[in-house]
Amino acid sequence: MFYVIFESTRSALISIFAHGLRSFLTTLGIVIGVASVIAVVSLTQGMSAFIGESFSSLGSNSLTIQSYTPIAEQMRGVRARLTPEDLELIERRGESIASITPILYANRTSQIRYAAQTTFSQIMGTTYAYSEVSQSYMLLGRFIAESDNLTRRRVAVIGEKVREDLALPENPVNEYVELGGEWFKIIGLLEPKGDIMGFNQDDIVLVPYSTMVSLQGNQARTDIQIQLSLSEDADVEDVTRQLTALLRNAHDLGPDEDDDFVINTAEQLMETFDTIINMVTLVIGGIVSISLLVGGIGIMNIMLVSVTERTREIGICKAVGAKRHHILAQFLIEAMLLSLLGGLIGLALGYGLGTAISSSIDSFPPASIPLWAIALALGFSGFVGVLFGILPAAKAANLDPIDALRYE
């Protein structure tokens, strides 16, 4: 058996390379199919790996609590809110909380002006604890202090992107910017963090929470976000359960009413992203693998032509003693090798393509191919070769030696 495979492989290789161009064109469908599958997989997997890293830098034991109103409720004009009282409640009664900070987003305008430059950014009111919860560190100057909040100081910490957009000097500390009609003094510049999924984490302006509250005026409708980080040994699920109970109680929710808030963990967020990316991989991969099928049909076509073309040769081989399985093995192995070679070329091409795309788009993470994708691509292309090689090979093996010898 091994001998037959070995000899068939030898003659298949000779035949493939004897018609170099034709072999290449035959397998082009497989090349393109595998290349696109690998390119897609390498990009999405690269992204997935990158997201995993970014989120683990956020710390898996940080939680975000937001108000949540179902759309049906929103239509009726109802809006759930998280209030400063909720914050206080959690501060007082929450377990295993290392640090906690409210975040209040600017609700009127997010326009910032410096001299003649104007830009829009994400403006958030928060406290000194934000630095720890979100793991933001200073490049220059200082972060918002407790006293800034107590005295509602008009000070701001900005991200690198905002500094660039406003054409502020390299060291923007002590410059003044205009936010919602008020002048704020810049006290610090955050260390750049880069992008997550196209969201620039450096496009950010932080002001003291109490300053933001006073800017917004109508405190009855304040809806805040609460971010907190847990102590090292805390169990995220336990804390989530406890906080849910606390807030449900505070919001007077009956047993049959849904939560009017959501508690997100970084881990959850990561899982959501992973699920989305895997879905995308699967769907695109599925669509692209149709091209592998088409490639397989191309191989079958050429193999059928090749059997007809070599009918006389097959007859000669049979006359000098080739058995059915010799001829079968020869054509089957030729189809499989053709397909497998296409798969290998496609693999290299797809990886190159993925790397080229990811490096030509700045914000894209580097491409990475998981081993299973390589195995799958090669396995699948080999399988396609066998699947579509069987028919021509059987046709060749079943030829009658007399007819085959007579064939012109």
Partner 1 sequence: MSSVDESAAAKDAGEDSVLIRMQDIRKHYEMGSQIVRALDGISVEIGRGDWVSFIGSSGSGKSTFLNILGCLDRPSGGEYFLNGVYVEELGANQLAEIRNREIGFIFQSFNLLPRATALGNVMQPLVYRRISYRRRKEMAMEALRRVRLDDRMDHLPNQLSGGQRQRVAIARALVTEPSILLADEPTGNLDSRTGAEIMQLFDQLHREGQTLILVTHEEDVAGLGDRVIELLDGKIIRDRRAGEPLH
According to CB under 8 A, which residues from 125 to 154 bind partner 1? none
Give exposure, 254-272, as e/b (b: 16+ Cβ within 10 Å): eeeeeebbebebbbbebee
**CA–CA distances in Å: residue 321 to residues 339, 341, 369:** 29, 30, 47
| Token couple for 75 | 């239509």
Stretch near partner 1 under the rule CB under 8 A, chosen from 20-28, 279-287, 311-319, 361-369: 311-319
Residue 59 CB contacts under 8 Å (≥ 6 apart), including other chains: 135, 229, 266
Among 18, 71, 75, 371, binds partner 1 (CB under 8 A): 18
Number of residues that bind partner 1 (CB under 8 A): 22
Instruction: Give yes or no for residue 20 binding partner 1 (CB under 8 A).
Output: no
On whether the CB atoms of residues 99 and 132 are closer than 8 A, the answer is yes
Strand residues in 248-293 grouped as ranges (E): 261-265
Q: How far is the CB of 393 from partner 1 (least distance, A)?
A: 16
Closer by beta carbon to partner 1, 178 or else 313 = 313
Q: What's the closest the beta carbon of residue 329 comes to partner 1, in angstroms?
A: 11
Of 215 and 335, which CB lies nearer to partner 1 in the complex structure? 335
Whole-number Å distance between alpha carbons of 65 and 265 = 9
If the CB atoms of residues 176 and 407 are measured against partner 1, the closer one turns out to be: 407
Give whichever of 319 and 356 is closer to partner 1, judged by the CB atom: 319
Contact 377, 45 (CB under 8 A): no
Phi, psi of 378 (to 5 degrees): -70, -40
Q: Does 3 bind partner 1 (CB under 8 A)?
A: yes
What distance in Å separates the CA atoms of residue 19 and residue 77, rounded to the nearest whole number?
73
Assess 22 for contact with partner 1 (CB under 8 A). no
**Interface residues for partner 1 in 312-331 (CB under 8 A)?**
312-313, 315-326
What is the smallest separation between the CB atom of 323 and partner 1, expressed in angstroms? Answer: 5
Which of 25, 279, 356, 402 lies at the binding interface for partner 1 (CB under 8 A)?
402
In the bound complex, what is the minimum distance in angstroms from residue 373's beta carbon to partner 1?
37
Q: How do beta strands 122-126 and 204-208 pair?
A: parallel
> CB-based burial of residue 376 (10 Å sphere; 0-12 exposed, 13-18 middle, 19+ buried)?
middle
Closest separation in Å from C-beta 407 to partner 1: 11
337-376 residues near partner 1, rule: CB under 8 A: none
Q: Least distance in Å: CB of 305 to partner 1?
A: 16
Single-letter amino acid code for the residue at 284: I
The structure tokens 């690198």 sit at 160
Q: Does 405 bind partner 1 (CB under 8 A)?
A: yes
- Cβ atoms 209, 177 nearer than 8 A: no
12 touches partner 1 (CB under 8 A)? no
CB 226 within 8 A of CB 101: yes
Question: Which CB, 1 or 75, lies closer to partner 1?
Answer: 1
Min dist. Cβ of residue 401 to partner 1 (A): 5
Residue 14, interface with partner 1 (CB under 8 A)? yes
Near partner 1 by CB under 8 A, which window of 233-241, 300-308, 362-370, 397-405?
Answer: 397-405
Residues interacting with partner 1, by CB under 8 A? 3, 7, 14-15, 18, 312-313, 315-326, 401-402, 405
